[in-house]
Amino acid sequence: MQYDNGTGPVMEDYFEPKLVGDVYKNYIVSIYGGENGTDGIIAGVDEKHYQILTGEGVLTVRAVENDQATAVKPEQDSPTTAAEGSAVAVAPADTVYTLNDTGVVLPSGHSVSLLFDEIITSDGIDRMTPLEEKVDEFLNGADEIRRYEIKYLDLVDANNGNAWVKSSKGVDIYWGYPEGTDSSTQFTLLHFSGLHRDGAQSGFDVDDIDAVTPEKVDIIVKIEAGSPWGVA
Protein backbone atom coordinates (compact mmCIF):
# COMPACT_ATOMS: atom_id res chain seq x y z
CA MET A 1 0.00 0.00 0.00
CA GLN A 2 1.07 3.59 -0.65
CA TYR A 3 -0.03 6.65 1.30
CA ASP A 4 0.11 10.15 -0.18
CA ASN A 5 -0.32 13.34 1.85
CA GLY A 6 -1.01 15.50 -1.19
CA THR A 7 2.61 16.32 -1.94
CA GLY A 8 3.91 12.79 -2.39
CA PRO A 9 4.21 9.35 -0.74
CA VAL A 10 4.85 9.30 3.03
CA MET A 11 6.00 6.62 5.46
CA GLU A 12 4.22 7.90 8.58
CA ASP A 13 0.93 9.62 9.43
CA TYR A 14 2.27 12.16 11.93
CA PHE A 15 1.12 15.74 11.41
CA GLU A 16 0.91 18.95 13.43
CA PRO A 17 -2.60 20.44 13.63
CA LYS A 18 -1.19 23.97 13.77
CA LEU A 19 0.60 23.51 10.43
CA VAL A 20 -2.25 21.60 8.77
CA GLY A 21 -4.88 24.02 10.05
CA ASP A 22 -7.11 21.27 11.41
CA VAL A 23 -7.25 18.37 13.86
CA TYR A 24 -7.39 15.76 11.11
CA LYS A 25 -5.68 15.08 7.80
CA ASN A 26 -6.69 12.98 4.79
CA TYR A 27 -4.28 10.71 2.94
CA ILE A 28 -4.81 9.08 -0.45
CA VAL A 29 -4.37 5.30 -0.29
CA SER A 30 -3.45 3.26 -3.35
CA ILE A 31 -1.73 0.05 -4.41
CA TYR A 32 2.00 0.51 -4.97
CA GLY A 33 2.80 -0.95 -8.37
CA GLY A 34 6.54 -0.31 -8.45
CA GLU A 35 8.21 0.42 -11.78
CA ASN A 36 5.49 -1.36 -13.76
CA GLY A 37 2.53 0.44 -12.21
CA THR A 38 -0.80 -1.28 -11.60
CA ASP A 39 -2.06 -1.56 -15.18
CA GLY A 40 -2.23 -5.05 -16.61
CA ILE A 41 -2.00 -6.94 -13.32
CA ILE A 42 -3.35 -10.47 -13.71
CA ALA A 43 -4.35 -12.81 -10.87
CA GLY A 44 -4.69 -16.57 -11.29
CA VAL A 45 -7.16 -18.74 -9.35
CA ASP A 46 -7.95 -22.40 -10.14
CA GLU A 47 -6.27 -22.15 -13.56
CA LYS A 48 -8.38 -19.11 -14.41
CA HIS A 49 -6.94 -15.64 -14.85
CA TYR A 50 -8.51 -12.30 -14.04
CA GLN A 51 -7.45 -8.74 -14.67
CA ILE A 52 -7.15 -6.73 -11.46
CA LEU A 53 -8.59 -3.23 -11.38
CA THR A 54 -7.25 -0.91 -8.70
CA GLY A 55 -8.47 2.39 -7.33
CA GLU A 56 -7.79 4.90 -4.58
CA GLY A 57 -9.19 5.36 -1.11
CA VAL A 58 -9.04 8.03 1.57
CA LEU A 59 -7.52 7.47 5.00
CA THR A 60 -8.52 10.03 7.63
CA VAL A 61 -6.06 10.46 10.49
CA ARG A 62 -7.26 12.35 13.57
CA ALA A 63 -5.00 14.09 16.05
CA VAL A 64 -4.89 13.12 19.72
CA GLU A 65 -3.54 15.04 22.69
CA ASN A 66 -2.39 12.18 24.90
CA ASP A 67 -0.16 9.24 24.04
CA GLN A 68 -1.61 5.81 23.21
CA ALA A 69 -1.10 4.30 26.66
CA THR A 70 -2.85 7.20 28.38
CA ALA A 71 -5.71 7.87 25.97
CA VAL A 72 -6.76 4.36 24.90
CA LYS A 73 -8.27 1.92 27.41
CA PRO A 74 -9.39 -1.64 26.47
CA GLU A 75 -13.12 -2.24 26.65
CA GLN A 76 -14.48 -4.59 29.32
CA ASP A 77 -17.50 -6.88 29.51
CA SER A 78 -18.47 -6.25 33.14
CA PRO A 79 -18.93 -3.11 35.28
CA THR A 80 -15.80 -1.75 36.87
CA THR A 81 -14.61 1.22 38.90
CA ALA A 82 -12.63 3.73 36.85
CA ALA A 83 -9.67 5.49 38.40
CA GLU A 84 -9.65 9.25 38.91
CA GLY A 85 -9.06 11.02 35.60
CA SER A 86 -9.86 7.88 33.63
CA ALA A 87 -12.82 5.99 32.16
CA VAL A 88 -13.66 2.55 30.80
CA ALA A 89 -16.23 1.28 28.32
CA VAL A 90 -18.32 -1.77 29.18
CA ALA A 91 -20.40 -3.78 26.70
CA PRO A 92 -22.13 -7.19 26.72
CA ALA A 93 -19.95 -10.10 25.61
CA ASP A 94 -22.18 -10.81 22.59
CA THR A 95 -21.82 -7.28 21.18
CA VAL A 96 -20.99 -7.09 17.46
CA TYR A 97 -18.62 -4.37 16.27
CA THR A 98 -18.41 -2.92 12.78
CA LEU A 99 -15.80 -0.67 11.17
CA ASN A 100 -16.85 2.96 10.74
CA ASP A 101 -19.98 3.18 8.58
CA THR A 102 -18.97 0.26 6.36
CA GLY A 103 -20.98 -2.47 8.09
CA VAL A 104 -17.86 -4.68 7.98
CA VAL A 105 -17.73 -6.84 11.12
CA LEU A 106 -14.48 -6.66 13.07
CA PRO A 107 -12.41 -9.89 13.14
CA SER A 108 -12.02 -11.90 16.33
CA GLY A 109 -8.57 -10.42 17.00
CA HIS A 110 -9.87 -6.88 17.44
CA SER A 111 -9.05 -4.71 20.43
CA VAL A 112 -12.07 -2.45 20.85
CA SER A 113 -11.15 0.31 23.28
CA LEU A 114 -12.32 3.63 24.63
CA LEU A 115 -10.44 6.70 23.42
CA PHE A 116 -10.59 9.03 26.43
CA ASP A 117 -8.49 11.97 25.34
CA GLU A 118 -7.77 15.49 26.53
CA ILE A 119 -9.05 18.41 24.49
CA ILE A 120 -6.30 19.39 22.04
CA THR A 121 -4.49 22.51 23.22
CA SER A 122 -0.82 21.65 22.60
CA ASP A 123 -0.99 23.50 19.27
CA GLY A 124 -1.32 26.77 21.17
CA ILE A 125 -5.07 27.22 20.72
CA ASP A 126 -7.12 27.48 23.93
CA ARG A 127 -10.20 25.34 23.30
CA MET A 128 -10.93 24.62 26.96
CA THR A 129 -12.05 28.14 27.86
CA PRO A 130 -14.67 28.33 25.05
CA LEU A 131 -15.97 24.89 26.05
CA GLU A 132 -16.24 25.93 29.71
CA GLU A 133 -17.99 29.14 28.67
CA LYS A 134 -20.49 27.04 26.71
CA VAL A 135 -21.13 25.02 29.86
CA ASP A 136 -21.74 28.21 31.87
CA GLU A 137 -24.07 29.51 29.17
CA PHE A 138 -26.05 26.27 29.20
CA LEU A 139 -26.26 26.30 33.02
CA ASN A 140 -27.49 29.92 33.08
CA GLY A 141 -24.30 31.64 34.11
CA ALA A 142 -20.91 31.14 35.68
CA ASP A 143 -20.49 29.77 39.19
CA GLU A 144 -17.27 30.38 41.11
CA ILE A 145 -17.43 26.95 42.78
CA ARG A 146 -18.13 25.08 39.54
CA ARG A 147 -15.39 22.78 38.26
CA TYR A 148 -15.07 21.20 34.82
CA GLU A 149 -13.68 17.98 33.39
CA ILE A 150 -13.97 17.86 29.60
CA LYS A 151 -12.71 14.96 27.48
CA TYR A 152 -12.99 13.69 23.91
CA LEU A 153 -14.53 10.20 23.81
CA ASP A 154 -14.68 7.70 21.00
CA LEU A 155 -14.92 3.93 20.46
CA VAL A 156 -11.93 2.62 18.48
CA ASP A 157 -10.08 -0.55 17.48
CA ALA A 158 -6.58 -0.32 18.97
CA ASN A 159 -5.43 -3.15 16.66
CA ASN A 160 -6.37 -1.16 13.55
CA GLY A 161 -4.84 2.26 14.03
CA ASN A 162 -7.59 3.35 16.43
CA ALA A 163 -10.13 3.29 13.61
CA TRP A 164 -13.66 4.32 14.57
CA VAL A 165 -15.97 1.40 15.33
CA LYS A 166 -19.66 0.99 16.06
CA SER A 167 -21.27 -1.24 18.65
CA SER A 168 -24.48 -3.18 17.98
CA LYS A 169 -25.64 -2.64 21.57
CA GLY A 170 -23.90 0.56 22.59
CA VAL A 171 -21.44 0.75 25.47
CA ASP A 172 -21.74 2.04 29.03
CA ILE A 173 -19.05 4.51 30.07
CA TYR A 174 -17.77 4.40 33.64
CA TRP A 175 -16.13 7.78 34.26
CA GLY A 176 -13.96 8.04 37.37
CA TYR A 177 -14.89 10.67 39.93
CA PRO A 178 -12.88 13.87 39.38
CA GLU A 179 -10.51 14.86 42.17
CA GLY A 180 -12.31 16.09 45.27
CA THR A 181 -15.69 14.57 44.35
CA ASP A 182 -17.65 11.45 45.26
CA SER A 183 -21.13 9.95 44.96
CA SER A 184 -22.61 12.84 46.98
CA THR A 185 -21.40 15.48 44.50
CA GLN A 186 -23.95 16.97 42.10
CA PHE A 187 -22.90 16.56 38.46
CA THR A 188 -24.21 17.77 35.12
CA LEU A 189 -23.10 15.76 32.08
CA LEU A 190 -23.09 17.60 28.74
CA HIS A 191 -22.39 16.35 25.23
CA PHE A 192 -20.86 18.67 22.63
CA SER A 193 -22.31 16.84 19.66
CA GLY A 194 -20.81 17.54 16.25
CA LEU A 195 -17.18 18.24 17.17
CA HIS A 196 -15.88 14.95 15.77
CA ARG A 197 -12.29 15.94 14.87
CA ASP A 198 -13.42 15.51 11.29
CA GLY A 199 -15.31 17.42 8.61
CA ALA A 200 -16.14 21.11 8.35
CA GLN A 201 -16.89 21.50 12.07
CA SER A 202 -14.00 19.49 13.49
CA GLY A 203 -13.40 21.57 16.60
CA PHE A 204 -10.09 23.00 15.40
CA ASP A 205 -11.41 26.55 15.19
CA VAL A 206 -12.90 28.24 18.25
CA ASP A 207 -15.79 29.26 15.97
CA ASP A 208 -16.67 25.55 15.70
CA ILE A 209 -17.19 25.47 19.47
CA ASP A 210 -19.19 28.71 19.43
CA ALA A 211 -21.57 27.17 16.89
CA VAL A 212 -22.36 24.12 19.04
CA THR A 213 -25.09 23.90 21.66
CA PRO A 214 -24.31 21.23 24.26
CA GLU A 215 -27.03 18.82 25.30
CA LYS A 216 -27.65 17.47 28.78
CA VAL A 217 -27.60 13.67 28.90
CA ASP A 218 -28.15 10.94 31.47
CA ILE A 219 -25.23 10.03 33.68
CA ILE A 220 -25.13 6.59 32.02
CA VAL A 221 -23.55 7.35 28.65
CA LYS A 222 -24.16 5.39 25.44
CA ILE A 223 -21.39 6.30 23.00
CA GLU A 224 -22.48 6.51 19.36
CA ALA A 225 -20.14 9.15 17.92
CA GLY A 226 -16.86 10.68 18.98
CA SER A 227 -16.97 14.23 20.36
CA PRO A 228 -16.22 16.17 23.55
CA TRP A 229 -18.10 15.37 26.74
CA GLY A 230 -18.00 17.52 29.87
CA VAL A 231 -18.77 17.02 33.53
CA ALA A 232 -19.52 20.16 35.54
Query: Residues 163-185: what's their mean pLDDT?
Result: 89
pLDDT given at position 92: 87
- Given a cut of 80, is residue 218 above it in pLDDT? no
Please report which helix (H) or strand (E) contains residue 87, including its range. strand 87-90
Query: Residues 197-216: what's their mean pLDDT?
Result: 92
Cα–Cα distance list, 53 to 9, 31, 33, 42, 171 (Å):
21, 10, 12, 9, 39
Average predicted confidence (pLDDT) for the chain: 88
- Given a cut of 60, is residue 220 above it in pLDDT? no
Of the listed ranges 15-29, 140-154, 176-190, the one predicted with least confidence: 176-190
- Given a cut of 50, is residue 165 above it in pLDDT? yes
pLDDT given at position 185: 87
- Given a cut of 60, is residue 122 above it in pLDDT? yes
Contact 99, 138 (CB under 8 A): no
164 band by pLDDT with thresholds 50, 70 and 90: very high
Query: Residues 96-116: what's their mean pLDDT?
Result: 93
Phi-psi region of 170 (alpha: psi -120 to 50; beta: other; left: phi over 0): left
In the Cβ-directed half-sphere of 74, how many Cα atoms lie within 13 Å? 7
Q: pLDDT per residue over 39-89, tens digit each?
A: 878 888 888 998 888 889 999 999 999 999 999 999 888 777 788 888 989
Say how far apart CA 109 and CA 178 lie, in whole Å. 33
Name the range with the highest mean pLDDT among 91-95, 125-129, 191-195.
125-129
